[in-house]
A and B are shown apart, each in its own frame.
Chain A
């Protein structure tokens, strides 16, 4: 058992380092995904066309932009695996699937967190949001826990039928309903943190609890289901 845990640890470290290295050298997150999410935030302003409303709904917009960008990151994360048959090679080498799952989830979480911090900054500037010090603490707690859940669920569904034709168009249909609890929970918690619509910051913590449940459930299920899921 301990030797399996060691293998899992080794493989997840290798995978997360590899994924982040790929991002570091290709800069897709920085050069493509981040500008994409900036465009979304600006387009929201066009669509809603009212500063008062924007300020009120800013938390929801931050999280919607996060989810849309996440679709792109997840697709990219598995595109690098299938471009030259690397996922095949990992499978044929009998590489511990749990390690692959944890490694890819961690890499996704790091990228999402970076993106969320950027979106928060954009919301502060463009939507005139002004959280208190307590609000900032709550916002960061929300981001951290929501991101853990998103990383697990994104990796799980991203691996579904990796390499099968038509998978790219299927991912949003499967992933968005699954992350609805995160959108609800994270938006409400962030509203409490931002004080949007007169919300109190104490109202946010139960929602963070919901996010923690989500992260726990999908972490456990992903650990079980990821191996069979990437199987041919």
Chain B
């Protein structure tokens, strides 16, 4: 099976605090891996390392064959990260936000419309400013932006947070279909009941380390 993520002994530092204290993690293509653990365990930092955002201080890491120590910038086009912040422009409307992300990669207006439709932010919400959206609606807007960017490794941080049941179902369906079309998903969550059903593998993170794994 093709290896998508490979981390060994990775230490990553956030202004002198070792958010990751020696992580070992391997993820294969087509998996949906759930990282779970308490707040501050280092889940977000794992995702940021995989996305090539957070530099590796010690240890080795690669994502889709790209060495994260030396070339972490070049992994990014293939990775979609949805973090705690949604990466939206608060003064712009939903459509303007999604269209902006689409235009940076040359996606068509049709793709924008489709993504917005799938995240149910078309219709009335389409012309509302991002600053006036609820937390869940912002999340959906960010996910729609992610869809139009066509990433092949999805890194999602608390993706279910703030979504209502229908939104969560919709997200699960989107992730399933993304995986079946060749993508790989790593998601972090401390609320696991829902994510466990979705995940093919659960990895426990605590104290900046991997402390266990279950299938």
Q: Does B193 interact with chain A (Cβ within 8 Å)?
A: no
Which residues in A have their C-beta under 8 angstroms from that of B54?
232
Q: Is the CB of A93 within 8 A of B90?
A: no
Interface residue SS majority, chain A: helix
Q: Is the CB of B104 within 8 A of A14?
A: yes
Q: Does B81 interact with chain A (Cβ within 8 Å)?
A: yes
Q: A21-B92, A25-B129, A84-B90 are in contact. Are A94 and B74 (CB under 8 A)?
A: yes
Which residues in A have their C-beta under 8 angstroms from that of B86?
84-85
Which residues in B have their C-beta under 8 angstroms from that of A88?
53, 83, 85, 87
Q: Is the CB of A231 within 8 A of B73?
A: yes
In Å, the complex CA distance between A86 and B53 comes to 13
Q: A10-B104, A85-B85 are in contact. Are A92 and B52 (CB under 8 A)?
A: yes
| Chain B, 41-87, CB within 8 A of any chain A CB | 51-55, 73-81, 83-87
Kindly identify which residue among B55, B75, B81, B89 contacts A22, using a CB–CB cutoff of 8 Å. B89
Q: Does B106 interact with chain A (Cβ within 8 Å)?
A: yes
Which residues in A have their C-beta under 8 angstroms from that of B80?
92-93
Nearest-neighbor residue (CB-CB) of A100 within chain B: B104
Q: How large is the interface on B (under 10, 10 to 19, 20 to 34, 35 or more residues)?
A: 35 or more
Q: Does B36 interact with chain A (Cβ within 8 Å)?
A: no
Q: Is the CB of A94 within 8 A of B96?
A: no
Which residues in A have their C-beta under 8 angstroms from that of B130?
84
Q: Is the CB of B53 within 8 A of A83?
A: no
Which residues in B have their C-beta under 8 angstroms from that of A25?
91-92, 129
Nearest-neighbor residue (CB-CB) of A7 within chain B: B106
Q: Is the CB of A92 within 8 A of B81?
A: yes
Nearest-neighbor residue (CB-CB) of A14 within chain B: B103
Q: Does A202 interact with chain B (Cβ within 8 Å)?
A: no
Q: Does B149 interact with chain A (Cβ within 8 Å)?
A: yes
Q: Is the CB of B91 within 8 A of A22?
A: yes
Q: Does A90 interact with chain B (Cβ within 8 Å)?
A: yes
**Minimum Cβ distance to chain A for residue B92 (Å):** 6
In Å, the complex CA distance between A91 and B55 comes to 13
In Å, the complex CA distance between A231 and B55 comes to 10
In Å, the complex CA distance between A61 and B79 comes to 49
Q: Is the CB of B88 within 8 A of A84?
A: yes
In Å, the complex CA distance between A21 and B129 comes to 12
Q: Is the CB of A80 within 8 A of B91?
A: yes
Nearest-neighbor residue (CB-CB) of A18 within chain B: B100
Q: Does A13 interact with chain B (Cβ within 8 Å)?
A: yes
Extra inter-chain contacts (16) besides given A13-B103, A91-B53, A231-B73, CB under 8 Å = A17-B103, A84-B85, A84-B87, A84-B90, A84-B130, A85-B85, A86-B87, A89-B101, A90-B87, A90-B104, A92-B80, A93-B104, A94-B76, A94-B77, A94-B78, A232-B55
Q: Which residues of A contact B (CB under 8 A)?
A: 10-11, 13-15, 17-18, 21-22, 25-26, 80, 83-86, 88-95, 99, 231-232
Q: Which residues of B contact A (CB under 8 A)?
A: 51-55, 73-81, 83-92, 96, 100-101, 103-106, 129-130, 145, 149
Which 8 A-B residue pairs are closest in the complex by CB-CB distance?
A: A89-B87, A85-B85, A94-B76, A94-B77, A14-B103, A26-B91, A22-B91, A92-B81
A-B contact pairs, 20 of them (CB 8 A): A14-B100, A14-B104, A17-B100, A18-B100, A22-B92, A25-B91, A25-B92, A26-B91, A80-B91, A84-B85, A84-B86, A84-B130, A85-B86, A89-B101, A92-B51, A92-B79, A92-B81, A93-B76, A93-B80, A94-B74
